[in-house]
Amino acid sequence: MHTAYIGLGSNLGDSLGLLEKAWLELGNHSEIKLISLASPYVSKPMDMVSENWFVNSAGSLITTMNPRDLLDFLHQTEEQFGRKRPSSTLGYADRSLDLDLLFYDNVVIDGAGSMVIPHPRLHERLFVLMPLGELAPDLCHPVLHRTIKWLLSDLTVYSSEQEVRRIQWDETIDFR
């Protein structure tokens, strides 16, 4: 069995509901057992221009799948929930569902078949670190050799432009 951490995000449609449903859908796979889902967070879009704010969370699970099969299943689940990945789009775009493989045990994969683990920019994003910090504050990043708690503290000090706030799963979302 392997432990994986998944980042969940959406900025189109009923984002809160989509994240909940997608998380439960992951648990329907025979090789996945859901462990824990963090609180949702509302965040201003980063590295893209959009009027649509994101809802993000993170979840932990255990699986017998290898990293490539798990990532492929995450992408299939995104498509099932309406995610379109146009090959011609440069940069980030609005999306109904985004599922990122953040960590898979202590595995480090750098570009094999377009897969990078741990997720290459998770340490730069409060909307990833805040929910991940709820689940595994003492998890050590296998490349940076820092805990999630340390990365979150460091980013909070040095990043004033990221707007992220915690909400509840049953909350009506006020994005501003």
Residue 120 lies in a domain: yes
Find tokens 């501003």 and name the residue: 176
- CATH code for position 144: 3.30.70.560
The reported pLDDT for the residue numbered 112 is 61
175 in any annotated domain: no
| Secondary structure class of 27 (helix, strand, coil) | helix
Query: CA dihedral in degrees (18, 50, 157, 130; nearest 10)?
Result: 0
The rounded distance, in Å, linking the Cα atoms of 138 and 149 is 6
Taking alpha carbons only, the member of 41, 75, 17 closest to residue 166 is: 41
- Using a cut of 0.85, tell me whether the model's pTM lies above it: yes
In a domain, 87, yes or no: yes
For the residues of 90-119, what is the DSSP string, one character each? -S----S-EEEEEEETT--EEEETTEEES-
Residue 78 three-state SS:
helix
What's the number of domains the chain is made of? 1
Q: CB-hemisphere CA count at 13 Å for 35?
A: 16
Tens-level pLDDT at each residue, the chain (176 residues): 999 999 999 999 999 999 999 999 999 999 999 999 999 999 988 877 888 999 999 999 999 999 999 999 999 999 999 877 666 555 577 788 999 999 999 999 987 667 899 999 999 999 999 999 999 999 999 999 999 999 999 988 777 678 889 999 887 665 54
Domain extent at residue 10: 2-166
Give me the helices (H) in the chain, please.
Answer: 15-27, 67-80, 126-135, 148-158
171, part of any domain: no
Give 10's strand partners: 55
| 97 within some domain | yes
* 48 found inside a domain: yes
Is the residue at 119 inside a domain?
A: yes
